[in-house]
């Protein structure tokens, strides 16, 4: 994510989380988001990360980090033990999408999911030109991308419907980080959802 | 992601063991009473004015107080955790005052089976009372009082040492701010107790054991201790590591069709066994393995590990190693789980390592970076 996206992502999530909430951040990376929510909203909780160097970075950031493989599911975590379970810009890097979404709402009362929209018009243009899209939101070549699931705003909403997950709030952003008000699946390159 | 791995720097240099004598009787978990006792320990770094920078290092099964630096009379014999403790090292002695201890029942100067039983004037031998992890903690707490340490900034230990850190967090929560539990478990499995039992049987059935009173016969159960250590060594390593280190290599090229030392791995085990048998006390080995067997905070709390940790107030760091099958990562996850249920601050790292249980003594860069990051964030 670009610095701008990170800032927007963090600010939006901060506005969706209650003061002092108990938060689980899946794929927490270097722990910047959890650190931010801790400082800004006084949250407590844990980050989950698979990569040891990011675990170390998270610990340096002063957050609780648990080195756990999310593909295993969230069996360590009790039902409804968190106010909010976040997966910020990481759902597309995991295989067991359905299971994880269900698990997030088993463990948390609410969930926040943010992800890049593969159906953004510039991405569609790239495909029309015969190439996999590479952009600020999808900054990888096809051969080195950590992404394993390629989905769109429309796909995600269809899956939520199938799983009976209700969308509380949605924010879709364009390349400049401005909210998109129409044709979300075409004009938006990054989406944030508040579920539960 | 770029992580700096600063070179492990300085040694604490020449250190001298110290001893503390306690003349107040100590009632052990078994009900037995030790009329008084002595503890050997070493310290590295300086206690600050606020007395807020003390870190207790708890030894594992065969560990002792000499964890860092060297003794003047043995300049080549570095402490057992010298790669971790020192100025600029992950447990940085320019920030922390580190205390390393030889536990009760030990054989490196603390009161134990080798010491004289005040009732008889002869070595305690097998009559030394069975001590538990909680008894060790109680004795350590008296040493902390003596050193003026009201509350440890951190208590760290691997394996059996990690159990001591957990015991402090559960039973003396006000006296520990961070518990660092490495390659440990909330209790031993049946398989793990079974390994201990084989080791004990090797010692006890050695004719030179003399029911634990071998000192009086001017001998020691060398064969038993050696077997116990050989077995231990197999379980502390991984299959992969042994394959890598020894494979099926023969010492002298060809088979001799004998039962002499032919394979490299046999030679290694015999060497380790002999070395240990010459330096460690058989009764201490029995006591320490029993302490491992008995440790079970959940069992003491109706079977519920989360309930056992309910009194804890410390922050925790748990570390496990991928190929450690004697204290497997899943066992550390049980502890993490119980701590999360209590909403404790806890971090957990599962380090990729081929070295099995012994990994906790090595200086894998990720492992040490985890410890460094954690220690750096401890405010003193």
pLDDT digits (tens, 9 = 90+) for B221-271: 999 999 999 999 999 999 999 999 999 999 987 899 999 999 999 999 999
**CB atoms B349 and A53 under 8 Å:** no
Please state, in angstroms and rounded to a whole number, the distance separating the CA atoms of residues B338 and B342: 7
User: Could you give the ipTM of this predicted complex?
Assistant: 0.94
Per the CB < 8 Å rule, is A57 touching B343? no
Cβ <8 Å between B345 and A64:
yes
pLDDT at A3 over 80: no
| Residue A58 vs residue B9, higher pLDDT | A58
CB contact under 8 A, A76 and B333: yes
Q: Chain B closest CA to A24's CA: distance in Å?
A: 11
C-alpha–C-alpha distance, residues A109 and A111, integer Å: 7
The neighbour count for residue A131, using CB atoms within 10 Å, is 11
Residues 39-98 of A with CB under 8 A from B: 44, 46, 51-60, 62, 64-68, 76-78, 81
Measured between beta carbons, which residues in chain B are less than 8 angstroms from residue A83?
none
Q: What is the mean pLDDT of chain B?
A: 95
For residue A6, what pLDDT is reported? Answer: 78
Residue-wise pLDDT for B85-143, tens only, equals 999 999 999 999 999 999 999 999 999 999 999 999 999 999 999 999 999 999 999 99
Asked if B375 reaches chain A (Cβ–Cβ under 8 Å), the answer is no
Chain B CB contacts of A30 below 8 Å? 1
Question: Which alpha helices (H) appear in B132-253, and where do they start and end?
Answer: 133-147, 160-171, 190-204, 222-236, 239-245
Q: Which of A46, A53, A81 sits opposite B3 (nearest CB)?
A: A53
Residues of A in contact with B334 (CB under 8 A): none
* B39, B106 contact by CB (below 8 A): no
Tokens at residue B285, please?
């080995």
Q: What are phi and psi of A97, to 5 degrees?
A: -60, -50
Residue B3: pLDDT over 60: no
B6 touches chain A (CB under 8 A): no
Strands B37-44 and B18-22: antiparallel
Cβ separation of B346 and A64 shorter than 8 Å? yes
Average model confidence (pLDDT) across chain A: 94
Predicted confidence at residue B253, as pLDDT, reads 79
- Token pair recorded at residue A50: 């698979």
Q: Which of A30, A53, A64 sits opposite B347 (nearest CB)?
A: A64
Name the active-site residue from B65, B108, B233, B357: B357
Chain A residues with CB under 8 Å of B377 CB are 59-60, 62
Report the C-alpha gap between B175 and B144 in whole angstroms.
9
Whole-angstrom distance, CA of residue B44 vs CA of residue B41: 10
- Tokens found for residue B160: 């059996």
Nearest to A67 among B340, B349, B373 (CB): B349
pLDDT digits (tens, 9 = 90+) for A180-192: 999 999 999 999 9
Residue A136: the pLDDT is 86
Does the distance separating the beta carbons of B370 and A52 come in below 8 Å?
A: yes
- Of these residues, B110, B115, B159, B354, which one is catalytic? B159
Contact (CB<8Å) A46/B377: no
A2 touches chain B (CB under 8 A): no
* CB within 8 Å: A53 and B366: yes
CB atoms within 10 A of CB A157: 17
pLDDT tens, B131-174? 999 999 999 999 999 999 999 999 999 999 999 999 999 999 99
Active site residue B159: yes
Query: CA-to-CA distance for B145 and A99, rounded, in angstroms?
Result: 52
pLDDT at A111 exceeding the cut of 50: yes
- What does the pLDDT look like over B320-346, one tens digit per residue? 999 999 999 999 999 999 999 999 999
Contacts of B336 in chain A (CB under 8 A): 66, 76
Average pLDDT score over residue span B182-188: 98
Query: Cα A118 to chain center, whole Å?
Result: 14
The four Cα atoms A43, A46, A49, A54 give a dihedral, to 10 degrees, of: 60
**Residue B1 pLDDT grade (very low, low, confident, very high; cuts 50, 70, 90):** very low
B44 phi and psi angles, rounded to 5 deg: -135, 135
Assigned token pair, A56:
């170390």
Cβ contact A56–B366 (<8 Å)? yes
Residue in A closest to B321 by C-alpha:
A67
Per-residue pLDDT at B6? 54
CA-based nearest residue in chain B for residue A57: B3
A59 → closest Cβ in B1, B333, B370: B370
Given an 8 Å threshold on Cβ–Cβ distance, is A56 in contact with B373?
yes
Instruction: Name the residue among B1, B333, B347 with its Cβ closest to that of A59.
Output: B347
Number of A–B residue contacts, CB under 8 Å: 62
From chain A residues 98-137, the ones with a CB under 8 A of any chain B CB are none
Nearest CA among A166, A192, A196 for reference residue A179:
A192
pLDDT of residue B53: 98
**Sole residue written with tokens 């401890």:** B378
Nearest-by-CA chain B residue for A29 = B1
Q: Which residue has the tokens 């398989």?
A: B191
CB A160 within 8 A of CB A140: no
Rounded to 10°, the helix B222-236/B282-294 angle is 40
Q: What is the pLDDT of residues B31-85, one digit of tens each?
A: 999 999 999 999 999 999 999 999 999 999 999 999 999 999 999 999 999 999 9
pLDDT recorded at residue B250: 94
Mean pLDDT for B311-328 is 98
- pLDDT score of A7: 82
- Mean pLDDT within B179-190: 98
Predicted confidence (pLDDT) per residue in A127-176, tens digit: 999 999 999 889 999 999 999 999 999 999 999 999 999 999 999 999 88
Q: How far apart are CA B199 and CA B233, in angstroms?
A: 11
């Amino acid at each position: 994510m670009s610095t701008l996206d990170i800032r927007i992502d963090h600010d939006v999530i901060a506005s969706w989380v209650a003061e002092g909430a108990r938060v689980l951040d899946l794929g927490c990376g270097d722990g910047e988001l959890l650190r931010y929510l801790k400082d800004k909203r006084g949250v407590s909780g844990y980050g989950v990360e698979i990569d040891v160097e990011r675990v170390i970075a998270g610990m340096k950031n002063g957050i609780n980090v648990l080195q756990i493989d999310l593909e295993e599911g969230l069996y360590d975590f009790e039902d409804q033990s968190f106010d909010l379970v976040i997966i910020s810009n990481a759902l597309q890097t995991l295989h067991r999408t359905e299971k994880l979404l269900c698990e997030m709402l088993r463990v948390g009362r609410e969930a926040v999911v943010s992800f890049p929209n593969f159906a953004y018009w510039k991405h569609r243009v790239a495909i029309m030109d015969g190439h996999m899209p590479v952009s600020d939101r999808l900054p990888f070549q096809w051969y080195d991308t950590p992404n394993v699931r390629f989905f769109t705003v429309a796909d995600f909403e269809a899956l939520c419907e199938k799983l009976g997950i209700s969308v509380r709030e949605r924010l879709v952003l364009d390349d400049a980080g401005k909210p998109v008000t129409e044709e979300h699946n075409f004009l938006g390159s990054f989406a944030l959802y508040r579920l539960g | 992601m770029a992580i700096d791995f600063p070179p492990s720097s300085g040694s604490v240099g020449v250190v001298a063991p110290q001893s503390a004598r306690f003349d107040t009787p100590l009632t052990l978990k078994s009900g037995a009473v030790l009329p008084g006792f002595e503890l050997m320990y070493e310290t590295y770094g300086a206690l600050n004015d606020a007395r807020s920078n003390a870190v207790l290092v708890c030894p594992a099964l065969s560990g002792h107080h000499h964890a860092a630096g060297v003794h003047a009379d043995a300049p080549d014999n570095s402490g057992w955790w010298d790669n971790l403790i020192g100025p600029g090292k992950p447990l940085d002695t320019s920030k922390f005052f580190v205390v390393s201890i030889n536990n009760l029942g030990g054989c490196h100067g603390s009161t134990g089976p080798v010491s004289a039983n005040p009732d008889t004037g002869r070595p305690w031998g097998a009559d030394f009372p069975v001590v538990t992890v909680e008894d060790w903690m109680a004795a350590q707490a008296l040493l902390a009082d003596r050193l003026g340490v009201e509350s440890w900034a951190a208590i760290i230990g691997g394996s059996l040492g990690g159990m001591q850190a957990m015991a402090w967090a559960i039973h003396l929560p006000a006296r520990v701010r961070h518990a660092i539990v490495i390659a440990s478990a909330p209790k031993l499995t049946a398989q793990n107790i079974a390994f201990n039992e084989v080791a004990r049987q090797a010692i006890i059935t050695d004719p030179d054991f003399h029911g634990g009173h071998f000192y009086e016969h001017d001998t020691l159960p060398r064969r038993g201790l050696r077997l116990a250590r050989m077995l231990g060594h197999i379980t502390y390593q991984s299959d992969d590591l042994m394959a890598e280190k020894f494979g099926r290599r023969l010492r002298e090229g060809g088979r001799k069709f004998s039962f002499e030392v032919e394979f490299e791995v046999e030679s290694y085990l015999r060497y380790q066994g002999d070395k240990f048998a010459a330096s460690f006390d058989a009764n201490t080995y029995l006591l320490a393995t029993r302490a491992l067997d008995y440790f079970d905070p959940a069992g003491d709390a109706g079977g519920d590990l989360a309930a056992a940790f309910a009194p804890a107030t410390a922050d925790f760091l748990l570390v496990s190693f991928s190929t450690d099958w004697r204290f497997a990562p899943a066992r550390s996850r049980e502890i993490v789980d119980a701590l999360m249920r209590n909403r404790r601050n806890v971090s957990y790292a599962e380090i990729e390592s081929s070295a099995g249980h012994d990994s906790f003594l090595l200086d894998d860069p990720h492992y040490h970076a985890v410890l460094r990051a954690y220690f750096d964030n401890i405010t003193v």
